[in-house]
Structure formats: C-alpha cells, structure tokens
Amino acid sequence: MSTCSLILLTYNEIAGSRALHPNLPLSLFDEVLVVDGGSQDGTREFFEGQGIRVVGQQRRGRGEAFRVGARNTTGDLLVFYSPDGNEDPEDLPRLLECLRAGADLAIASRFAPGARNEEDDQLFRPRAWVNMAFTLIANLLFGRGVFLSDTINGFRAIRRPAFESLRLDERGFPIEYQMSIRAMKAGLRIVEIPTREGDRIGGASKAESFPVGLGHLKVLIREILRFRSF
Ligand SMILES: Nc1nc2c(ncn2[C@@H]2O[C@H](COP(=O)(O)OP(=O)(O)O)[C@@H](O)[C@H]2O)c(=O)[nH]1
Ligand SMILES: [Mg+2]
C-alpha cells in the first residue's frame, strides 16, 4: 500500500496547534512533519514536545513551505494541513481516501454543495467572491471538463509524482492556485470533497487580502502566457 505523509504548515499558530493537535488522526499517516515559517510563539517547541519532527524554512513564504514539506518527507501521498482552525481534521481521512481511490489531487472545497466558508453568515463576502472569481476564470481557461468549485483552498492532498511533475515555483500564498491550474493543464485527476471551514482559533491571518489577491492575479497571468505548458 502507498505510504502517506502529513505535512503541517505553521507560522505563529500556537493556539490552533494546541487545540487541534489532539484531533489529528496521526495514526493514519506513516510520517508527520511540521514545516514552520519562523514562529516565535512556541509553535515549534509545542510540536517538538509532542515528538513531531519540525523543519524550518530558509526562504519565507507558504509556497516555499509546501516545497520544504515535500522535500523533507518520503510518503507516496502528501497531505497538507494548516492547524489554524479553518480546516476540519475529520476531512483528513477523506482526502486520503480520494487519493487511494485514484485521484492525483484532492481538494477540500469551501464552495462545493454542502460546504461552508468562513463568510457564509455574512451578507458581504469579499473574500469568497474574489476566490470564486479566480476559480471561475481558471475553470474557463484551463478546465478539462470537470468544473472545480475551489481552486484556492490550501487544504489538499496530492500524489508525490504529481506534485513533482507540476514544478511549482510560487513562493507565497498563491501556490495552491498555481497547483490547481497546472494540475488542470496537465490533465491530472482532480477530486473535491466539501469541507466546513471553521473560524480561526487564535492569532492572526498572515494572508493580507490585497497583496495576496495581487499574487493570485500574477500567477493567473503567468499561467495564461505559458498557455498549456509550465
Ligand atoms: N510554514 C509556513 N506556514 C505558513 C506561512 N504563512 C502562513 N502559514 C500557515 O498557513 C496557514 C494558512 O495561513 P493563514 O494566514 O491562516 O491564511 P488564510 O487562512 O488564507 O487566512 C496557517 O496555518 C499559517 O500558519 C509560511 O510562510 N510558512
Ligand atoms: Mg487560515
């Protein structure tokens, strides 16, 4: 059977890490690794205290963290999880099942039927709308018959050979968008599961809307200019 690695992505995420660690189904994984972006709030020490291996980053950014995670693990299946409260640990086995059933990339979608995103109880949902617009454009330009509802959520699992074949080079948050677009271009088998996005448990988001939105736009333009290659 294929081996699987759980990769936790953290940057000053102590409150969420403490609260969610007991709920993580660690026994499902052959290996668990924390990639830490330079936390100063004890996140790193917390996980080390739990006997979990932690690696740091030489270069900053969440995109870089994905690559550091892949490089420092050996599993055939890679599952990325961010312990900030947004991602439901109960989805972890479901993402794994998708890969075991043959998907190359499995995404926890905040916009699929039955899903919830953090702005759902608001009338004004700027973040959701911008996300959905980027996803719509990606589908229209790069889709291969399957309509994805969330190309941007970072809660996802991917086969290692697929991850490597996409040659992702984005440094920051838009790594997930780049991964989804390139996976569509490459004709990979992409599956979504509906997820219920929880509220952030503590600390602050590191994703500032404006620069991160601009970063997504840059990824999109670059992938358009490269047409079907990357
Ligand atoms: N390793 C690493 N993790 C990061 C970095 N930036 C953000 N994260 C983590 O990625 C997850 C998502 O970040 P967050 O700021 O909540 O983004 P949002 O959910 O889009 O608001 C959290 O667990 C962060 O701690 C980084 O540069 N390196
Ligand atoms: Mg978050």
Is 138 within the bounds of a domain? yes
Give the ligand 1 atom nearest the CA of 82.
23
Distance CA 172, CA 208 (A): 11
Determine the Cα–Cα distance for residues 67 and 56; give it in Å rounded to an integer. Answer: 12
Atom number of ligand 1 nearest to Cα 83: 23
Examine residue 179 and state whether it is found in any structural domain, yes or no: yes
pLDDT digits (tens, 9 = 90+) for 136-168: 999 999 998 889 999 999 999 999 999 999 999
Structure tokens at 97: 């099942």
Q: What is the pLDDT of residues 23-37, one digit of tens each?
A: 999 999 999 999 999
Asked if the structure places residue 230 within a domain, the reply is no
Instruction: Classify residue 21 as left (phi > 0), alpha (psi -120 to 50) or beta.
Output: alpha
pLDDT-derived band at 53 (thresholds 50, 70, 90) equals very high
Has residue 84 been placed in a domain? yes
Atom 9 (ligand 1) nearest CA: 10
Q: Taking the CA atoms of the chain, what radius of gyration do you get in angstroms?
A: 16
Domain residues for the domain of 58 are 4-225
Question: Does some domain include residue 174?
Answer: yes
Nearest Cα neighbor of 11 from 66, 77, 79 is 66
**CATH code at position 205:** 3.90.550.10
Angstrom distance (rounded) from CA 69 to CA 222 = 24
Decide: 65 in ligand 1 pocket, CB within 6 A. Answer: yes
The number of folded domains in the chain is 1
Residue 99 lies in a domain: yes
Q: Is the CB of 35 under 6 A from ligand 1?
A: yes
Q: Which residue from 6, 7, 11, 199 has its CB within 8 A of the most atoms of ligand 1, so it is best to mutate?
A: 11
The Cα 52–Cα 74 span in angstroms is 15
Choose among 42, 9, 18, 20: nearest CA to 88: 20
- pTM equals 0.97
Residue 59 lies in a domain: yes
Q: Is 83 inside any structural domain? A: yes
Q: How confident is the model at residue 1 (pLDDT cuts 50, 70, 90)?
A: confident
Cα–Cα distance measured from residue 137 to residue 114, given in angstroms and rounded to the nearest whole number: 22
Residues 38-49 pLDDT 10s = 999 999 999 999
Q: Whole-angstrom distance between the N-terminal and C-terminal Cα of the chain?
A: 31
Per-residue pLDDT at 228 exceeds 90: no
Per-residue pLDDT tens digits for 93-128: 999 999 999 999 999 999 999 999 999 889 999 999
